[in-house]
Amino acid sequence: EALAMDPQQRLLLEVVYEAIESAGLSLDRMRGSDTAVFAGLMCGDYEAMMLRDLDQAPTHFATGTSRAVMSNRVSYFFDWRGPSVTIDTACSSSLVAVHQAIQTLRSGDSHTAVACGSNLIFGPEMYVIESKLKMLSPDSLSRMWDKDANGYARGEGVTAVVLKTLSQALADNDRIEAVIRETGVNSDGATPGITMPSASAQRDLIQSVYKKAGLNPQSAEDRPQFIEAHGTGTQLGDP
């Protein structure tokens, strides 16, 4: 079974363990709890590798490479019984996982939620596919908001965060690293191309999130001190 398991599953188990450890929570006390898992996942290179030789496909190929099992594997291993969902919204998958985790906490369906994500590169398929769409930089340099922008460079990473409502974290005397004021998700709707973003949709989302958070972006006190943007470094994506 381990042979068939996508390394993204393997590393996610390790990183989620480290996140729980860093949060100072007890895995024993969490067993059987309503802890939720939301995992962001876009690519499945390991599955593509395994399918190159069907005669050698391992017995547990189905569960080892299933995207649904990406989140389920974490819930299964740690014996958590809250919602367990794998999310694929392309580049925003892990952030949407955070949003969904927060909604689950606010609804009361879970008292603790883990939002996580993984992106590992094993094969050339996504390079070829994205190159055909002119998404990748030929020289692997991301020049966001630059007139010479010619695409972005792909990268790898595995991450996990443990989330609770602020009131629950305070009641549990947890070590709090940060507070998320608000999140939001929307869609670009109809644009000139399905991969092309909508500036107006992004503006509407930002304004909506500020409003829900009770913040006024026109006020100096409420303005963000740091902004992290999803800069694609492409002529179509950056505007």
At residue 67 the predicted structure's pLDDT band, cuts being 50, 70 and 90, is very high
Q: Which domain holds residue 91?
A: 7-120+156-180
The model's pLDDT over 191-215, given as tens digits with 9 standing for 90+, comes to 888 888 898 999 999 999 999 999 9
The model's pLDDT over 118-138, given as tens digits with 9 standing for 90+, comes to 999 999 999 999 999 888 999
- pTM here? 0.93
Q: Are 80 and 2 in contact (CB under 8 A)?
A: no
Cα dist. 139→91, 136, 148, 149, 151 in Å? 21, 9, 12, 11, 9
Helices of type H across the chain: 7-23, 27-30, 45-50, 61-65, 67-78, 93-107, 125-132, 166-171, 199-213
Is 90 exceeded by the pLDDT of residue 230?
A: no
The model's pLDDT over 24-63, given as tens digits with 9 standing for 90+, comes to 999 999 999 999 999 999 999 999 988 888 888 889 989 9
Distance CA 184, CA 82 (A): 22
Please tell me which residue, 229 or 88, carries the higher pLDDT value: 88
Q: Does 17 fall in a domain?
A: yes
Q: How many CA atoms lie within 13 A of 120 on its CB side?
A: 17
Is 80 exceeded by the pLDDT of residue 65?
A: yes
Number of domains in the chain: 1
Phi, psi of 238 (to 5 degrees): -65, -45
> Residue 28: what pLDDT?
97
Q: Does 196 fall in a domain?
A: no
Do the strands 36-41 and 84-87 form a parallel or antiparallel pair, or are they unpaired? Answer: parallel
Q: Does 102 fall in a domain?
A: yes
Range from 17-26, 69-78, 98-107, 135-144 carrying the lowest mean pLDDT: 135-144
Cα dist. 50→61, 112, 176 in Å? 8, 35, 41
Distance CA 117, CA 135 (A): 22
Dihedral sign, Cα of residue 210, residue 215, residue 218, residue 222: negative
> Residue 204: what pLDDT?
95
Dump the DSSP string for 190-202: S-SSTT---HHHH
> Residue 104: what pLDDT?
98
Is 90 exceeded by the pLDDT of residue 109?
A: yes
> Residue 217: what pLDDT?
86
**Side chain identity at 197, as an amino acid letter?**
P
Q: Does 46 fall in a domain?
A: yes
Is 90 exceeded by the pLDDT of residue 73?
A: yes
> Residue 239: what pLDDT?
66
Here the CATH number for the domain that contains residue 115 is: 3.40.47.10
> Residue 142: what pLDDT?
86
Q: How far apart are the first and last CA of the chain?
A: 46
Q: Does 49 fall in a domain?
A: yes
Q: Does 33 fall in a domain?
A: yes
Residues of the chain with pLDDT > 90: what percent? 73
> Residue 96: what pLDDT?
98
